Amino acid sequence: MANSTNQKTSNFLEEQVVHDLDTGLKVDSLKFRFPPEPNGYLHIGHAASLFLNFGLALKYNAPIYLRFDDTNPTQEEQKFVDAIKEDIKWLGFKWSEERYTSDYFQQLYDWAILLIKKGKAYVDDQTSEEIAEQKGTPTNMGKNSPYRNRTPEENFDLFQRMKLGEFLEGARVLRAKIDMASPNMLMRDPIMYRIVNKAHHRTGNDWHIYPMYDWAHGQSDFIEGISHSLCTLEFGSHRELYDWFINQINIEKELVPHQFEFARRNLSYTVLSKRKLGELVEKGLVSGWDDPRMPTIAGLRRRGYTPNSIKSFSEKAGISKRDNVSDIALLEHSIREELNATAQRVMVVVNPIKLTITNYDKEKEILEIENNPENPQSGFRKVTFSKELIIEQEDFKEHANRKFFRLTLGKEVRLKGAYIIKANEVVKDSKGKITEIKCTYDPKSKSGSNTEESKRKVKGTLHWVSMKHSVGIEVRNYDRLFNDPMPEGHEGKDFMEFLNPTSLTVNKKALAESSVEKAEIGDRYQFQRLGYYRVDENSNASNLVFNKTVSLKSSFNPKNTL
């Protein structure tokens, strides 16, 4: 059992938990929840709430419920339920119980009838436009609905008929009777139920009315005995209504839940609205919710991010009381830092040009090259070296200035893990394009041989692949989905105007060293001098596909976050 007096707190919400424990709340009464709506995939913004709620539950040995807020059958599907559960498990979390707001539909309905009988709720026949206009503005009080004074008996009859599906969608709603002059617009007779004549993914056609978020949220917390209902800041103005509803149905429970707010997680160069992410999917601008360019947990996983890197990002970004934007470079830094320490190095050439070592007279030789210089325990791998090699086209210039430290005629470079070579001549096709570089090598300059020649300093080191011992692979280079840091921040412009047209480039003719033949889906590598990559689910025995996770380097300083 946790003792609040010796717990180091990590944010202001945990301080609230500790305060409540210190002022009488029993540790056994602590209970948290994570309540996603199954209308899309979880994204990096949800990670803040995930790590917060599950982290507090774990630290204080308290239960946490995974509750699906399934109150809108027009948008919710079982596939989203399954995807959310998969993401949470992948992040390493376990929930105490799995619940659904639909589990409480009958109880919520019964409580709504209780409010009707108490004269605290009424059926309104106005259109949504009429209700919105009649609510007034923040500076002008609202006007009472002409249906506000219906008798409890009439309201009860109409509400029952709404439930049975006698009316068309939009014909009637159930509203709470609170105060049309309240300075809080949400307290001006909010809608509790609307008619939706569509099948629900769990309850089928049992219901024709569905509870609104404000009615279902607090009551679900109350039913489950949640002690701390943690929401993002936009729900701060909802707290008064949250408390009002609970006070109407309070049946003398010892524990009454309380809502607390924190800032939502925003991220530069992307959008974190499930509706807008859904638009990208529906319009075919991305391949799906798990497209590696998407900020969804599934997309990040497919791109090559790890649970630890997402946790590291969440910890560095922190929990705030004010809305802010985290730099996407902080997220990239988190995975780069991890992969630098853990990823096996391999050599891959994406834009090949042939390089022939004219004085190499062996058929081949096997070199042993370290898997990860950051981790001596990672060992070595065997790489085949031969007379005919492949290097990157951009690593050679026939003529270059002094600032070009790669291969050029008459100059030397080292081949990674192998020998020092010198370019002597080129072969060109009929159009003058270079098709082959002819070199000589210093046979005594082998890396790690401890000879004087091997210790010679040359300014450039290139990666390479043996032509006859290479593996063809597909390389998908992903970049940021948007080319503007705030794609939603331009008045009068649609966020899609800022989509990055080069966020994905595909190379199906890359060549890799033969060690990648054994790569399996999910394996992560550093392609030396190119970046970090993960084996994609689209891979098969005849075609390995690698997704670029992140570049090797960045000028980003994690101390200077947005």
Q: Quick: pLDDT tens for 12-49.
A: 999 999 999 999 999 999 999 999 999 999 999 999 99
Q: Domain map of the chain by residue range? A: 105-214, 351-468
Work out the average pLDDT over 445-473.
94
Segment 286-313 shows an average pLDDT of 98
Question: What CA–CA distance (Å, rounded) separates 14 from 531?
Answer: 38
- 88 vs 74: CA distance, rounded Å: 24
- pLDDT in the model for residue 89: 98
Q: What is the mean pLDDT of residues 133-162?
A: 97
Question: Mutual orientation of helices 105-117 and 152-163 as an angle, nearest 10°?
Answer: 160
Instruction: For residues 378-391, give the mean pLDDT.
Output: 97
**pTM to 2 decimals?**
0.93
The whole-angstrom separation of Cα 52 and Cα 15 is 12
CB-based contacts of 492: which residues, under 8 Å, 6+ apart? none
Residue 560 scores a pLDDT above 60: no
pLDDT of residue 375: 93
The helix or strand, by DSSP H or E, that contains position 218, with its residue range, turns out to be: helix 213-224
Q: Residue 58: what pLDDT? A: 96
pLDDT at 556: 63
What is the enclosing helix (H) or strand (E) of 349?
strand 348-349
Residue in 163, 172, 202, 264 annotated catalytic: 264
Residue 534 falls in the annotated catalytic set: no
Q: 20: helix, coil or strand?
A: helix
Q: What is the mean pLDDT of the chain?
A: 95
What is the reported pLDDT for 558? 65
Decide if 175 is catalytic: no
Asked if pLDDT for residue 2 goes beyond 60, the answer is: no
d(CA 92, CA 299): 17
pLDDT digits (tens, 9 = 90+) for 311-339: 999 999 999 998 889 999 999 999 999 99
Rg of the chain on CA atoms, in Å: 31
pLDDT for the residue numbered 324: 87
User: And the tokens for 543?
Assistant: 């075609």
pLDDT surpassing 90 at residue 219: yes
Higher pLDDT among residues 364 and 254, named by residue:
364
Q: Is 363 a catalytic residue?
A: no
The CATH classification number of 351-468 equals 2.40.240.10
**Which position among 37, 337, 374, 388 bears the catalytic label?**
37
pLDDT of 554: 78
Tell me what pLDDT residue 7 has: 57
The dihedrals phi and psi of 561, each to the nearest 5 degrees, come to -85, 160
Split at pLDDT 50, 70, 90, the class of 4 is very low
Each residue of 239-290: pLDDT tens digit?
A: 999 999 999 987 776 778 999 999 999 999 999 999 999 999 999 999 999 9
Q: What is the pLDDT of residues 73-87, one digit of tens each?
A: 999 999 999 999 999
Contact 436, 427 (CB under 8 A): yes
**pLDDT at position 95 over 70:** yes
Least confident of 3-17, 111-125, 182-196, 498-512: 3-17
pLDDT band, very low/low/confident/very high, at 5 (cuts 50, 70, 90): very low
pLDDT score recorded for residue 555? 66
Q: Tell me what pLDDT residue 10 has.
A: 80
**pLDDT tops 50 at residue 1:** no
Architecture of domain 105-214: Alpha-Beta Complex (3.90)
The one-letter code for the residue type at 149 is: N
Q: Which amino acid is at 58?
A: L
Q: Which of 188, 194, 202, 274 is catalytic?
A: 274
Identify the weakest region by mean pLDDT among 33-42, 297-306, 347-356, 488-497.
488-497
Which pLDDT score is estimated for 6? 56
